Amino acid sequence: MAKCEICGKGVSFGIKVSHSHRRANKMWKPNVRRVKAIVDGTPKKVYVCTRCLRSGKVDRAV
């Protein structure tokens, strides 16, 4: 679910390092919203990251 249907941005993985240098696995999720957008001329609910919403890559259906 944490994947943008416009740009394909998804979850990224890495290692969280504390001040004492203890390491633990970490997962960063994109800021994805479910919005009603116009896809192929019809309104449809899609999962879109907020960067695509802000940059105008998505035509919102009102």
Contact 38, 46 (CB under 8 A): no
For residue 48, pLDDT beyond 80: yes
Q: What is the pLDDT of residues 8-36, one digit of tens each?
A: 999 999 999 999 999 999 999 999 999 99
Contact 24, 13 (CB under 8 A): no
Q: Give the residue-averaged pLDDT of 34-52.
A: 95
Instruction: Show me where the domains of the chain are located.
Output: 12-55
User: How far, in Å, CA of 58 to CA of 53, rounded?
Assistant: 6
Taking CA atoms, 6 is separated from 1, 13, 18, 19, 50, in Å, by 13, 21, 34, 37, 11
| CA 14 to chain CA centroid, nearest Å | 17
pTM of the model: 0.78
pLDDT at 30: 96
